[in-house]
Homo-oligomer: A and B are copies of this chain.
Amino acid sequence: MYDKFNFNAISCGGNFADFSRTKERCGILETPHGVVETPAFIFCGTKASVKGVSPQQLMEAQTQIILSNTYHLFSYPGSEYIKKRGGLHKFMGWNGPMLTDSGGFQIFSLGLGSVADEIKGKRSGVSSLLKIDEDGATFRSYWDGSTQILTPEKSMEIQKNLGADFIVAFDECTPFHGDKKYTELSMERSHRWEKRSLGEFICRDDGSQALYGIVHGGVHADLRKHSAEFINDHAFFATAIGGTLGSTKSQMYEVIEMATTHINAARPIHLLGIGGISDIFVGVSLGIDTFDCVHPTRIARHGGALVKRAFRDSPTREHINLKRSEYEHDDNPIELDCDCATCQVFSRAYLHYLLKASELLALHAINIHNIRFMNRLMKEIRNTIKNSGSLKELRTIWC
């Protein structure tokens, strides 16, 4: 199992022996579709496409790894269909490393209105989640309204059909508003689901995929410790931190530390759904190897371009909104020092104009910048770690 996969932390200023779970690290994550240098950012290609950006353009922006969402692809066009097309890599034309999630997050998130709101502690929306029981989750498909059931075994089957390099055990995404008792019961059920996921994974294993376990336990240190130890004790290739991370930034950082303190450091560690720049610096310093989030590609659709501190208009935001009138006469690129395809050619004024004129090219061009921005950020973080530089100093430039 996992013969075609490998993870090695690499020398960080010659101080490899000093590694501990509370320190940043660089790694090499090997997959059948190539290598990922960590820390790395995983871009969301929710429905088997990163919004408007081709695989070629992802490569040009030096993207290492992308993900697709099992829930969406299961709903339409179906995983059997994608298997018949040769799997997700071939279907969407991406030959690099890829991850699919378990589908659980979307069931619980779409079920409760906005998942992102929910796990951050803002209650909203009406559930289209029909039932959770020991077997799995029953829900109404967003695509055609049909009743569907997802179980650990089904999630593994689907993810096998999709064929991503990394796949994720099926779990319940615990909401923030659950009390400790519910959080613990949910965690225990997630553990049973993850164990069933692992069993099913092993039955189907042909060496082409590696499985992530997910650590739960909400905002409770004892539960996080217990959950981390559970995952450590089972033959997952890597570990993801899931469930609610609390309702504030400081609580989020505490919760990440609660988990990383106990997670087996020999395995890659992924932080689910977090992609703010300052959050990434904290995550890296707590030992996170990979991140994913829709943020960079989602804000692009609304005119949001990620910029380093020097190019911002507000100290509190990590991006500029190119729809704003102050960019109407700004002939500079989004970032003066950016090497992305967009910054080589387009000014802020042109992008502002395209947004105002509802021209598709705007979203496309800003997306490419944001993707390249994240890849540059992660590369600078890796270089700083390798050269025993100061992440704190680097952070003052990027945040």
Contacts and interface: CB of A to CB of B under 8 A. Distances in A.
Interface of A: 47-56, 76-77, 84-86, 91-93, 329, 331, 341, 345-347, 349-350, 353-354, 356-357, 359-361, 363-365
A53 B346 contact: no
Nearest to A95: B345
A333 to B, nearest CB: 10
B353 A48 contact: yes
A49 B341 CA distance: 16
Closest 5 CB pairs of A and B: A93-B345, A52-B360, A49-B361, A49-B359, A47-B357
B54 A350 contact: no
A54 B365 contact: yes
B53 A361 contact: yes
Contacts of A53: 361
Contacts of A359: 47-49, 51
23 contacts: A47-B357, A48-B353, A48-B359, A49-B359, A49-B360, A49-B361, A50-B361, A51-B360, A52-B52, A52-B364, A53-B361, A54-B364, A55-B345, A56-B345, A76-B356, A77-B357, A84-B329, A86-B331, A91-B349, A91-B350, A360-B363, A360-B364, A364-B364
B47 A346 contact: no
Given A52-B361, A53-B361, A55-B345, 18 more contacts: A48-B353, A49-B359, A49-B361, A51-B359, A54-B345, A54-B361, A54-B364, A56-B345, A77-B357, A84-B329, A85-B331, A86-B331, A91-B347, A91-B349, A91-B353, A93-B345, A93-B346, A93-B350
Nearest to A82: B353
A354 B73 CA distance: 12
Contacts of A353: 48, 77, 91
Contacts of A350: 48, 85, 91-93
A361 to B, nearest CB: 4
A86 B329 CA distance: 12
Contacts of A76: 356-357
B54 A354 contact: no
A84 B349 CA distance: 11
A356 B51 CA distance: 14
Contacts of A47: 357, 359
Contacts of A91: 347, 349-350, 353
A364 to B, nearest CB: 6
